[in-house]
Structure 1
Amino acid sequence: MAQTSDKAGQTFAHYWKQNLRAWGMWYRQSPGFFASTLLSSAGGGLAPYLTIWLSAQIISELAGGRDARRLAFWAALTVGVTALLALANGALNRWQEYERSRLSAVRFRPLADKMLTLDYAQMDCQEVQDLYSQIGQNDNWGGYGLYQTLQLFPYFCKGAVQVLGGIGFTLPLFLTDLPADSPLSFLNSPLALVAVLTAMVLVVVLSSLCDGKATLMLTKEAETFTFGNRIFGFYGFRLVGDRKRAGDLRIYQQLKNVGTPLLSDPASLPFFPGSSVSKLSKGRVGLLFGLCQSLTAVMTCAVYLFVCLKSWGGAFDVGLVARYVGSATQLFGGISLLLQTLSKVRVNGNFLDTTFRFLDLPNPMYQGSLTTEKRSDRNYQVEFRDVSFRYPGSDRWALRHVNIRFRIGRRLAVVGPNGSGKTTFIKLLCRLYDPTEGEILLNGIDIRKYRYDEYLALFSVVFQDFKLLALPLGENVAGAADYDRPRAERCLRDAGFGDRLDAMPHGLDTYLYKDLDKEGVDISGGEAQKIAIARALYKDAPFLVLDEPTAALDPIAEAEVYASFDAIAGDKTAIYISHRLSSCKFCDAIAVFDGGAIVQTGRHDDLVADETGLYHKLWQAQAQYYTQ
């Protein structure tokens, strides 16, 4: 669900504070962007005033003495100053664009860094996922959120410079009196000047209010815009361009049969004629934007009228008409730009609230202080002592009263039906979650007392839903750009990937997939699983945990992996989650899970012989397809 409207009770001061916080975050990443923007805005905002002033000198001379030397001087000065300003502003703008492009490349970095540093339990929470998704949707449809503050900063600076410069250049217009005998001498009255200024400022303010109101009305349709982007993104890009869906699309004519009712009815799409956004744009929003432009034109006419009346009345010559008209127009344009920018700050403040609500999420998991003992003998003993666990927000126990101790250097298989608690057991072991009840001990000490990063370093895990990156093969194995190449190659061969490695065009430097390199290679699910196993071996941690390590392998490849795995694991404590009970034969112990509890433990032969046990039932269910 996208963030939509102004929150009740929030003041502009609150939104301005949020905006300043965002600028502070960007400043720490790139001070150069703010320096270049300030200088570029100063140059771009003041350049028109200098050009207007020089042009006024030329016009005054043409309307007065027409001295050739003076005209040549002013003309040469105007050309020279204009050229220098153009060069300086061009260089400053180039610098600013360079700095902006650098920030644009890392626009999502603050959000990504936060997501990576969140406790796993926090990151895995659906509310946090929804909040993160909402931030991305807000940025996608309207650029709202953190990145919008980068867009607003140049406008704010330019508007401020225009206002300050305009006051200096325009102030004499209101301070220069008409001759006493002029029929327009009433314009010298302070009341008349206040009335004129008030009228001009009022027009500018009304114009800015119209623009802000229209923008705010559009942001209230954020959910509609987001839905539209999701439709076009899914049907226009992901669906038709996804090779994995290509077969189904053609065999079942899915896009025609499923997508047609939605895509064939323009009124059902957010941006087509007849939609709510279209009606709004043609109605109130369109009228407000039109009124904004009309009021700007009225203000310009008022400036011309006032300046020309004062010149006609004898307050100044015709040369100053050009100066005052130009500078006053720039001044009120700056006021309008500044007010519109501040209005957008208020609108964007709603979306910043969502962003900072995510960035301010705490990490409630206790971070211990004890260091894990570095043992060359890998003699780490782990014990589950009456451990029970419920996922946050659930009233169902995922694990209940689990008691088990790992024997060092042994192989433990964890088996059981789907949903029996096997993966939850592994997540608790790795301290991705903390137990709801009971405790997990490492060498007799509660694992919550150890430093979190050091405890995680004890485990190499191949999760069932592991991911590989579109990077060179060696970097995928090592998890780093600089790595031990012979070690990475050895791990790949130990994991059964040797033949495929020899066939790769660039060996360890071969890119996986074609996302970043057109010469990248696509790999099968089984090959990807072998690379993931090699990655776990490369880490060389005391505990090796494999969640369905051979699920994507064919029976022959599976047999090869298990035949060599005992030697590969060496002195590590290996834990396997598996549905193929044949893979449990080589394990020293088997823990059978059912309904969140351990219902059986023992070796394969003993468990198969127990005809009343769950393991025997599972074994028979699989074996019948082979024995028949």
Structure 2
Amino acid sequence: MTSHVDEQARQRIGLPEVLRRTWRACAIYARQCPSWFAATAVSSLFVACGPYVTIWLSARLVDELAGRRDPGRLMQWTVLTLVVSAAVSLATSAAQHWKNREGATTSWSHKRILMSKMMDMDYQDVDDQRSYDAFLNVVQNDNWAGYGIRYVGYIFDDLLTAVFRILGGIALSVSLFVADVPDGSPLDALNGPACGIVFIAVMLAIVVIASKCEDNGNRLWARHAEDARFGNRVFAAFGGYKSTWRNALDLRIYRQQEQLCSPMLRGNNTFGYHSVIGRLARGPMGAWMVAARVLTVGLTAAAYLFVCLKAWGGAFGVGAVTQYVGAVTSLFAGLSALLTQVGEMRNNAEFLGTSFAFLDIPNRMYQGSLTTEKRSDRRYEVEFRDVSFRYPGSRMWALRHVNLRFRVGGRLAVVGPNGSGKTTFIKLLCRLYDPTEGEILLNGIDIRKYRYDEYMALFSVVFQDFRLLSLPLGQNVAAGVDVDRRRAVDCLGKAGFADRLATLPKGLDTSLYRDLDKDGVEVSGGEAQKIAIARALYRDAPFVILDEPTAALDPVAEAEVYARFDELVGDRTAVYISHRLSSCRFCDRIAVFDHGAVVQSGTHDELVADEGGLYHELWHAQAQYYTTPAEA
């Protein structure tokens, strides 16, 4: 549950800061969906002011019925009322249709804001649990009640409608206060300015109190954001787990739907009848909302009382009663809605702070300015010079005093136990992180001085946890919409996927998986790995890196995959990361990592011969899995 300290922090946000955050959120949101804001403005205008047109015309018609009853005049007012009302109704419907059409994309626009930030962030921040927690808080606030940047859209809509209602109400009700009761009437005291001031003061008091009641109810709802976020996390984790077909095997074998998912969902009582939020809804939160509605009814009663007294005194006819009651009621309802939206801005301001905390994570990695040399001979040389690294927030060194030089066109294998620093070494090589100490050189120049995007383009990487998308096969290979079909087919063939490609009904246009296409195909783990390798070949980068993408295969099959890939990389420099040594015997150099340091370096034969070394120990520990009986 959110602490009392959190509630006090929310109360300390002043109105200027509330307005600043709301304005900034509107600006961010408007850049993503400007058409929605335009459509909402037009729709709000017609929704708020359209009824006033009907009220004014109806008042004229009623006046004629109560007065001269001229058939010609009655016909004119009737036709005009019908035509104008139909035109306003049609325009209102068209504006709302436009708004709804544009609104269908707003949810995606909000996601695009977050995804754009995630893609623009330094990888070291993306990889940081604190950044991920900040991202999850933003998403869960939005999932719970729309709070955050998307909520300013609701506020904008209601606020603009309230403003238009106020302006329209003023235009139609101002004559109420200047229409005098005839002298000598028992009610001529209503002509004095004091009476009008008292009426306005009473109406404003009701509006302020009603708005305050509603704001109190909304604040009780908003203060339990932490409870709601946890509830949403549980639902997100377990609510859809049983409906995902990829989980079907584990669900049935281990009866997870009965033993894990259902108990977790039943045990999470965040939004249940007997939950804290449920008790609030039946108790103080509900009471505040009921009080606001009761006061709103009192607002209408006060408007009827004042207008009818002036009409009874003879200040105007019965038709004007219709106009003034509708206009005054709508005017003060608009004021109430305006104050309510100010309260909603205050409630949302804290959640905007959460959103901005994520969006304002700075990019600290230097982007560089030097252009990488475009060499047709692929002669790029990389050197790790006394490189040490520890992850942000950690006191332990992931790498320590690493010195390595890549021979151009060579084959470097990086091996070692789990947690020895192999993947960290690749992250530094690809400049996903910068070294904490030391430097990495490309052709003798610190890689931080090169343009970041150009340096990244030098590498093709197949990560251990690579991902393929539910898109056509060709787009997966090209990693883009534009596909060089001949080249994609060639790379798939080199990766050993030619036979499977020949069986696909649409060739390169065959969708992988069935998430988006009912005719999509499911590929096995081995087939997916071949597609990932084809993707690396398609990029045709000078450096090719395999970071244990075949860890799920048996050692002999993994060695076969690496041997095939070694034939394909040609004159490119290749780096192979593995904790299994059978796959690296063909490499001309092997670096052995242990506890973040390079403890051995040499050829396979040299390292096996060193009986006191780690490589010798690892090799003989694994030999039973990948040596033939003759070799044993």
Q: TM-score, length-normalised on structure 2?
A: 0.96
Pair 1:220 & 2:187 matched: no
Structure 1 residue 8: Cα displacement: 4.5
Q: For residue 507 of structure 1, what is the aligned residue in structure 2? A: 507
Contact 2:412 2:590 in 1 (8 A): yes
Matches of residues 378-389 of structure 1 in structure 2 within 5 Å? Answer: 378-389=378-389
Q: For residue 538 of structure 1, what is the aligned residue in structure 2? A: 538
Structure 1 residue 100: Cα displacement: 1.8
Structure 1 residue 559: Cα displacement: 4.5
Residue 246 (structure 1) aligned to one of 226, 245, 248: 248
Pair 1:79 & 2:82 matched: yes
**Aligned equivalents of 1:127, 1:263: Cα separation in 2:** 26
Structure 1 residue 554: Cα displacement: 4.7
Pair 1:177 & 2:180 matched: yes
Matches of residues 12-31 of structure 1 in structure 2 within 5 Å? Answer: 12-31=15-34
Residue 191 (structure 2) aligned to one of 164, 167, 188: 188
One-letter amino acid of the structure 2 residue matched with residue 42 of structure 1: L
**Aligned equivalents of 1:420, 1:604: Cα separation in 2:** 19
Q: Cα deviation per residue 1:267-311 (whole Å; 9 max; x = unaligned)?
A: x51222221111100110000000010000011011001111111
Structure 1 residue 104: Cα displacement: 3.0
One-letter amino acid of the structure 1 residue matched with residue 346 of structure 2: R
**Aligned equivalents of 1:264, 1:542: Cα separation in 2:** 54
One-letter amino acid of the structure 2 residue matched with residue 139 of structure 1: D
One-letter amino acid of the structure 1 residue matched with residue 162 of structure 2: G
Q: TM-score, length-normalised on structure 1?
A: 0.96
Q: For residue 258 of structure 2, what is the aligned residue in structure 1? A: 256
Q: For residue 203 of structure 2, what is the aligned residue in structure 1? A: 200
Q: For residue 36 of structure 1, what is the aligned residue in structure 2? A: 39
Pair 1:311 & 2:311 matched: yes
Q: For residue 105 of structure 1, what is the aligned residue in structure 2? A: 108
Residue 262 to residue 409, structure 1, CA distance change in 2 (3 Å): closer
Q: For residue 453 of structure 1, what is the aligned residue in structure 2? A: 453
One-letter amino acid of the structure 1 residue matched with residue 419 of structure 2: G
**Aligned equivalents of 2:555, 2:448: Cα separation in 1:** 40
Q: For residue 571 of structure 2, what is the aligned residue in structure 1? A: 571
One-letter amino acid of the structure 2 residue matched with residue 253 of structure 1: R
Structure 1 residue 25: Cα displacement: 2.0
Q: For residue 419 of structure 1, what is the aligned residue in structure 2? A: 419
Q: Cα deviation per residue 1:473-501 (whole Å; 9 max; x = unaligned)?
A: 11011111112111111111111112221
Contact 1:156 1:338 in 2 (8 A): yes
Residue 262 to residue 168, structure 1, CA distance change in 2 (3 Å): same
Q: For residue 54 of structure 2, what is the aligned residue in structure 1? A: 51
Pair 1:67 & 2:70 matched: yes
**Aligned equivalents of 1:41, 1:457: Cα separation in 2:** 49
Structure 1 residue 226: Cα displacement: 2.2
Q: For residue 345 of structure 1, what is the aligned residue in structure 2? A: 345
Contact 1:533 1:549 in 2 (8 A): no
One-letter amino acid of the structure 1 residue matched with residue 252 of structure 2: R
Residue 114 (structure 1) aligned to one of 114, 117, 121: 117
Q: For residue 297 of structure 1, what is the aligned residue in structure 2? A: 297
Q: Cα deviation per residue 1:151-194 (whole Å; 9 max; x = unaligned)?
A: 22121111101101101101111222222312122222222211
Contact 1:2 1:134 in 2 (8 A): no
Pair 1:163 & 2:171 matched: no
Structure 1 residue 27: Cα displacement: 2.4
Structure 1 residue 2: Cα displacement: 8.8
**Aligned equivalents of 2:477, 2:498: Cα separation in 1:** 13
Q: Report the secondary structure of 1:304's partner residue.
A: helix
Q: Cα deviation per residue 1:122-170 (whole Å; 9 max; x = unaligned)?
A: 1111111100010000001111111111122121111101101101101
One-letter amino acid of the structure 1 residue matched with residue 280 of structure 2: L
Residue 452 to residue 132, structure 1, CA distance change in 2 (3 Å): same
Q: For residue 616 of structure 1, what is the aligned residue in structure 2? A: 616
May I ask how many residue pairs the two structures share in their alignment? 625
One-letter amino acid of the structure 2 residue matched with residue 551 of structure 1: A
* Aligned-CA RMSD value: 1.8
Of 89-98 and 449-458, more deviation after overlay is shown by 89-98
Structure 1 residue 557: Cα displacement: 4.4
Q: Report the secondary structure of 2:612's partner residue.
A: coil
**Aligned equivalents of 1:487, 1:2: Cα separation in 2:** 57
Structure 1 residue 262: Cα displacement: 4.6
Q: Report the secondary structure of 1:563's partner residue.
A: helix
One-letter amino acid of the structure 1 residue matched with residue 251 of structure 2: L
**Aligned equivalents of 2:125, 2:57: Cα separation in 1:** 63
Residue 429 to residue 245, structure 1, CA distance change in 2 (3 Å): same
**Aligned equivalents of 1:619, 1:31: Cα separation in 2:** 62
Q: Report the secondary structure of 1:106's partner residue.
A: helix
One-letter amino acid of the structure 2 residue matched with residue 302 of structure 1: A
Q: % of aligned pairs identical? A: 56
Pair 1:492 & 2:492 matched: yes
Q: For residue 558 of structure 1, what is the aligned residue in structure 2? A: 558
Q: Cα deviation per residue 1:38-90 (whole Å; 9 max; x = unaligned)?
A: 22222222111111111111111111111111111111110010011111112
Matches of residues 569-608 of structure 1 in structure 2 within 5 Å? Answer: 569-608=569-608
Contact 2:235 2:265 in 1 (8 A): no
Structure 1 residue 259: Cα displacement: 4.8
**Aligned equivalents of 2:337, 2:301: Cα separation in 1:** 18
Contact 1:607 1:613 in 2 (8 A): yes
One-letter amino acid of the structure 1 residue matched with residue 512 of structure 2: L
Pair 1:232 & 2:266 matched: no
Q: Cα deviation per residue 1:368-393 (whole Å; 9 max; x = unaligned)?
A: 11111111111111101111111111
Q: For residue 463 of structure 2, what is the aligned residue in structure 1? A: 463
Contact 2:559 2:582 in 1 (8 A): no
**Aligned equivalents of 1:620, 1:595: Cα separation in 2:** 20
Of 19-28 and 551-560, more deviation after overlay is shown by 551-560
Residue 188 to residue 51, structure 1, CA distance change in 2 (3 Å): same
One-letter amino acid of the structure 2 residue matched with residue 218 of structure 1: W
**Aligned equivalents of 1:220, 1:577: Cα separation in 2:** 49
Q: Report the secondary structure of 1:519's partner residue.
A: coil
**Aligned equivalents of 1:219, 1:226: Cα separation in 2:** 11
Pair 1:288 & 2:288 matched: yes
Q: For residue 272 of structure 2, what is the aligned residue in structure 1? A: 272
**Aligned equivalents of 1:417, 1:403: Cα separation in 2:** 19
Structure 1 residue 221: Cα displacement: 1.1
Q: For residue 128 of structure 1, what is the aligned residue in structure 2? A: 131
Matches of residues 387-406 of structure 1 in structure 2 within 5 Å? Answer: 387-406=387-406
Residue 481 to residue 589, structure 1, CA distance change in 2 (3 Å): same
Q: Report the secondary structure of 1:576's partner residue.
A: strand
Residue 612 to residue 374, structure 1, CA distance change in 2 (3 Å): same
Q: Report the secondary structure of 1:7's partner residue.
A: helix
One-letter amino acid of the structure 1 residue matched with residue 259 of structure 2: N
One-letter amino acid of the structure 2 residue matched with residue 135 of structure 1: V
Q: Report the secondary structure of 1:417's partner residue.
A: coil
Q: Report the secondary structure of 2:104's partner residue.
A: helix
Contact 1:529 1:552 in 2 (8 A): no
**Aligned equivalents of 1:313, 1:242: Cα separation in 2:** 72
Structure 1 residue 264: Cα displacement: 5.0
Q: For residue 148 of structure 2, what is the aligned residue in structure 1? A: 145
Q: Report the secondary structure of 2:105's partner residue.
A: helix
Q: Cα deviation per residue 1:309-336 (whole Å; 9 max; x = unaligned)?
A: 1111111111111111111111112112
> Which runs of 5 or more residues in structure 2 are unaligned?
none
**Aligned equivalents of 2:411, 2:347: Cα separation in 1:** 59
Q: For residue 549 of structure 1, what is the aligned residue in structure 2? A: 549
**Aligned equivalents of 1:246, 1:373: Cα separation in 2:** 51
Of 451-460 and 241-250, more deviation after overlay is shown by 241-250
Residue 236 to residue 121, structure 1, CA distance change in 2 (3 Å): closer
Contact 1:589 1:602 in 2 (8 A): yes
Residue 416 to residue 555, structure 1, CA distance change in 2 (3 Å): closer
